[in-house]
């Protein structure tokens, strides 16, 4: 098979690395990819939102299967376009991807299907939202309904800050049209967990549990980022908890979407809070998580290409994914200044294969020139190590990172602390 992967981050590098190990896969193209991905696949200079360009490339190269990483092309309808042309593609349709593309839709959908989530109100009128904010009990979360690159959710501790956030989203439109509608919801307390599931709309196969670390500094301090690290599996997600998540969240979501005429094929990502009264949904995403994919796929024993084909063909019931024992930990290295304006162009040393620690370097933002690597993004490298348990994987990953340097490099030193109490 010839496969085309759409995307350019650490998630896509992990996808390409895993697909590459499949005997079914002969060649992989990535649009647009990155320098690290270029070591194992052919990068193609196409933007992820150039749906027409990607479709033409797939036809020209006679690609057998296209796999979409990021949410943007999915919410723009890349799957619908490909299917109309008879091209094979892995991911949810535009209508199904609305579960991520519109938080207002997702919340109202959850209410309708009794999926546990924080109680909420939706506003498309600024004056109404401000009026609500004056009277409400705090703290609350205020969220732009549309896509905001993971930056659209803000905690408001009191009415003044809530008013300021509403003004920024609906008045100044800092997220553009994504903030024309907002969701205001209660804050949930507990531990966050990510559960991703493979589904063809009928069969649901949850992957191992994982946990992302969204904040920039140790101890979960500072602003949210695209993800500073992750680990897998999460020890406090028991088999019984997994069963509850399946019955109360995954099944009602997939079957509810089906009922609404939004058949879901691809990956459903459930971002959950494990509260004292059980798991509740913080958000749904319509794709693999990043960096979670960088720890979950290294523990998948089964052939990923096989699973993708079964999903596209609607045959997922024939698949029984097999997982490795042990644990995986990923630590993300970022450029000075990230998540605000950051530096690029710093020389990176130590980019090589680290077999001795069972470590993988997944590239997110690097550039390669001659024999030298340079930083080229806010998130630069995801260093993942697999070992027999979380503790030894943490040690292996930080040992590996002793060898990797660039000016202004930042990373958290406490990834997976929740699992080592």
Which residues make up the interface to ligand AMP (CB under 6 A)? Answer: 118, 141, 143, 150, 152-153, 185, 187-188, 192, 214, 271, 282-283
Q: Which does 292 bind (CB under 5 to 8 A by kind): ligand AMP, ligand GLY, none?
A: ligand GLY
**How big is the chain by its Cα radius of gyration, in Å?**
21
Which is nearest to 192 in space by CA: 236, 134, 161, 255? 236
Contacts of 240 (CB under 8 A, 6+ apart): none
Q: How many residues bind ligand GLY (CB under 6 A)?
A: 7
Q: Which does 282 bind (CB under 5 to 8 A by kind): ligand AMP, ligand GLY, none?
A: ligand AMP
Q: Which does 285 bind (CB under 5 to 8 A by kind): ligand GLY, ligand AMP, none?
A: ligand GLY
Three-state secondary structure call for residue 150: coil
Pick between residue 268 and residue 351 the one whose CB is nearest to ligand GLY.
268
Give min distance, CB of 71 to ligand GLY, in A: 8
| 212 binding ligand GLY? (CB under 6 A) | yes
Pick between residue 25 and residue 74 the one whose CB is nearest to ligand GLY.
74
Distance linking the first and last C-alpha atoms of the chain:
45
Rounded Cα distance between 252 and 242, Å, is: 14
Pick between residue 116 and residue 365 the one whose CB is nearest to ligand AMP.
116
Q: Which does 143 bind (CB under 5 to 8 A by kind): ligand GLY, ligand AMP, none?
A: ligand AMP
Q: Which does 346 bind (CB under 5 to 8 A by kind): ligand GLY, ligand AMP, none?
A: none
Q: Which does 289 bind (CB under 5 to 8 A by kind): ligand GLY, ligand AMP, none?
A: ligand GLY
Rounded Cα distance between 194 and 287, Å, is: 12
Give min distance, CB of 355 to ligand AMP, in A: 34
Give min distance, CB of 39 to ligand GLY, in A: 24
Give yes or no for a cis peptide into 40 (omega within 30° of 0): no
Burial of 29 per CB tally in 10 Å (0-12, 13-18, 19+): buried
Q: Which does 5 bind (CB under 5 to 8 A by kind): ligand GLY, ligand AMP, none?
A: none
CA triplet 371, 372, 378: central angle to 5 degrees?
A: 145
Q: Which does 51 bind (CB under 5 to 8 A by kind): ligand AMP, ligand GLY, none?
A: none
Which parts of 397-416 interact with ligand GLY (CB under 6 A)? none
Contact call for residues 245 and 206 (beta carbons, < 8 A) = yes
Number of C-alpha atoms within 13 angstroms, CB side, residue 4? 27
Residue nearest to ligand AMP (CB): 153
Rounded Cα distance between 237 and 212, Å, is: 14
Rounded Cα distance between 420 and 235, Å, is: 9
Strand (E) positions, 157-264?
182-186, 191-199, 204-206, 211-212, 215-217, 221-224, 229-232
Pick between residue 36 and residue 291 the one whose CB is nearest to ligand AMP.
291
Give min distance, CB of 38 to ligand GLY, in A: 23
x/- mask, ligand GLY, residues 214-243, rule CB under 6 A, reads: -------------x----------------
Burial of 137 per CB tally in 10 Å (0-12, 13-18, 19+): exposed
Rounded Cα distance between 58 and 79, Å, is: 13
x/- mask, ligand GLY, residues 270-309, rule CB under 6 A, reads: ---------------x---xx-x-----------------
Give min distance, CB of 118 to ligand AMP, in A: 4
Q: Which does 118 bind (CB under 5 to 8 A by kind): ligand AMP, ligand GLY, none?
A: ligand AMP
Rounded Cα distance between 294 and 251, Å, is: 25
Scanning the structure block, which residue is given the tokens 């080592």?
Answer: 420
Pick between residue 118 and residue 267 the one whose CB is nearest to ligand GLY.
267
Rounded Cα distance between 72 and 341, Å, is: 22
Residue 334 DSSP code = E
Pick between residue 122 and residue 228 the one whose CB is nearest to ligand GLY.
228
- Give me the residues that bind ligand GLY (CB under 6 A), please: 150, 212, 227, 285, 289-290, 292
């Amino acid at each position: 098979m010839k496969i085309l992967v759409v995307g350019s981050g650490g998630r896509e590098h992990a996808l390409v690395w895993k697909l590459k190990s499949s005997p079914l896969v002969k060649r992989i193209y990535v649009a647009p990819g990155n320098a690290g991905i270029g070591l194992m696949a052919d990068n193609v200079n196409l933007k992820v939102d150039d749906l027409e360009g990607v479709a033409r490339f797939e036809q020209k190269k006679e690609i057998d299967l296209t796999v979409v990483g990021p949410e943007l092309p999915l919410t723009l309808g890349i799957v619908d376009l490909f299917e109309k042309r008879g091209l094979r593609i892995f991911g949810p349709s535009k209508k199904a991807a609305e579960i991520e593309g519109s938080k207002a839709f997702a919340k109202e959908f959850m209410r309708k299907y009794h999926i546990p989530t924080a109680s909420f109100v939706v506003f498309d009128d600024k004056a109404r939202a401000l009026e609500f904010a004056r009277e409400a009990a705090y703290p609350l979360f205020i969220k732009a309904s549309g896509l905001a690159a993971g930056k659209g959710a803000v905690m408001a501790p009191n009415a003044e800050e809530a008013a300021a956030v509403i003004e920024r989203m609906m008045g100044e439109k800092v997220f553009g049209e994504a903030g024309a509608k907002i969701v205001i919801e209660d804050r949930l307390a507990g531990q966050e967990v990510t559960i991703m599931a493979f589904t063809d709309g009928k069969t649901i196969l949850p992957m191992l549990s994982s946990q992302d670390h969204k904040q920039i500094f140790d101890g979960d301090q500072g602003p949210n980022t695209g993800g500073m690290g992750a680990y897998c599996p999460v020890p406090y997600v028991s088999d019984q908890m997994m069963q509850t998540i399946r019955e109360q969240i995954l099944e009602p979501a997939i079957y509810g979407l089906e009922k609404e005429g939004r058949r879901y094929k691809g990956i459903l990502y459930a971002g959950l809070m494990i509260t004292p009264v059980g798991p509740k949904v913080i958000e749904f995403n319509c794709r693999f998580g990043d960096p979670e994919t960088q720890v979950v796929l290294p523990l998948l024993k089964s052939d990923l290409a096989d699973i993708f084909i079964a999903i596209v063909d609607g045959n997922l019931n024939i698949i029984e994914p097999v997982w490795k024992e042990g644990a995986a930990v990923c630590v993300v290295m970022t450029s000075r200044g990230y998540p605000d304006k950051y530096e690029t162009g710093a020389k990176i040393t130590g980019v090589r294969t680290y077999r001795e620690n069972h470590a993988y370097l997944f590239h997110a933002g690097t550039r390669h020139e001659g024999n030298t690597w340079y930083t080229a993004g806010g998130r630069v490298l995801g260093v993942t190590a697999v070992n027999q348990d979380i503790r030894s994987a943490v040690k292996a990953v930080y040992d590996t990172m002793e060898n990797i340097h660039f000016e202004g490099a930042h990373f958290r030193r406490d990834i997976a602390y929740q699992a080592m109490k």
